[in-house]
Amino acid sequence: MVLPTNLKHLATANELTALINEKENVMVCCGRMGPMCIPVYGVMHEIEPEYQHIEFRDMAFDSPEAHIIRNLPECRGFMGIPFVIYYKNGKVAAATSSIQSRDQITKILDKVFVK
């Protein structure tokens, strides 16, 4: 189960685990194709060329495999999609719930994934 976005997709929890173990900087947007999520995919797609040191991925929130994100301790209390997770060296460095603007996203990227 993958989302019809322009981003690279994560279909399984194993894929996510392998990616964050292999790559230093990973941003994953776990959502649906709804109004709060689509703008975040759009921002990720647009900024991808500027942030080549970061891996951008999406994951379907309703996939059973997305338990790997839904059940993160950092997502406790989250009640708005998308859940966006920023992984640094395999660990969660930041997590947000609900829609975020381009400014809010790039502020986190610039802070968490310093070039």
Partner 1 sequence: MRIICEFNRLNNYKICGNLFKIQLIYMENQHYQAIIIGGGPAGLTAGIYLSRAKVKTLILDSSIAGGQMILTHKIANYPGVENISGYQLSMNMLNQAKSFGCDVMSGISIQKIDFESTIKRLELSNGKQFSSDVIILATGGRSRTLGIEGEELFKGKGISYCATCDGDFFQDKEIAVVGGGNTALEEAVSLTKFAKKVTIFHQFDHFQGSKYAEEEARNHPKIEIHLNTKLTRFYGEDSLESVDYIDVTSNEIHHQLFDGVFVFIGYEANTEFLQGRCIELNKFKEIVVDSNLQTNVKGVFAAGDATTKKYRQITTAVADGTVAALNAIEFLKAL
Are the CB atoms for 84 and 27 separated by under 8 Å? Answer: yes
**Per CB under 8 A, does 74 bind partner 1?**
no
- List the beta bridge partners of residue 59: 10, 30
**35 CB burial (10 A radius; 0-12, 13-18, 19+):** exposed
To partner 1, the closest distance from the beta carbon of 21 in angstroms equals 28
Q: Determine if 96 is a binding residue for partner 1 (CB under 8 A).
A: yes
Candidates 35, 49, 91, 114; binder of partner 1 (CB under 8 A) is: 35
Using the minimum distance from each CB to partner 1, give the nearer residue, 38 or 92: 38
Query: Of the two residues 70 and 88, which places its CB atom closer to partner 1 in the complex?
Result: 70
